[in-house]
Amino acid sequence: MDCPAQILEIRSYSGDTGNMVGDTNVRAGQCHCGAVRFEVTLSDGFNSIRRCTCSYCRMRGAVVVMAEMGGIKVLQGEDALTSYRFHTGSAQHFFCSRCGIYTHHQRRSNQNLYAVNVACLDGVSPFDFSEVPVMDGVNHTNDTGRPTRRAGTLRFIPAD
């Protein structure tokens, strides 16, 4: 396995994820096959949704939402998680080694944040959001020294 608990900065867990008592920022999630199950505390609800244009995110196509360091608790399947790093190696992308679904990653631009795949969150779909900001990952802030630029907006318009 490629992601020991100390890398994940897992916070202590107490309670049942099936009933997230009144806190809409606490969400249960899982990969496609169910081998990996987790609980996440969203740092700003769904206000931080986004996509990215970097080479990896462009191919992956996920809509993500942010969680602070320590805001993800792997409840089951830590041994099924594997990770991938590229370019500078500072961002660590986690996915299930059984079904291949990307669950979350530690961000390159802010190592204190995780981006979580909204499609892995129970009851949430990337198609629940009519507009998703798309950030310019091709011209990454860590490469340019400039603030992150919004590259555009991804829109979903349901058919009648």
Report pLDDT digits (tens) over 1-42. Answer: 333 332 333 222 223 333 333 456 999 999 999 999 999 999
Give the residue from 4, 116, 23, 7 showing the smallest Cα distance to 63. 116
pLDDT tens-digit series, residues 42-79: 999 999 999 999 888 899 999 999 999 899 999 999 99
* Domain 5-12+23-126, architecture per CATH: Beta Complex (2.170)
- The reported pTM is 0.81
Taking the C-alpha atoms of residue 19 and residue 157, their distance in angstroms, rounded to an integer, is: 31
65 φ/ψ angles, rounded to the nearest 5 degrees: -135, 155
Strands 113-117 and 51-52: unpaired
What pLDDT was estimated at residue 103?
97
Rg value, the chain, Cα: 15
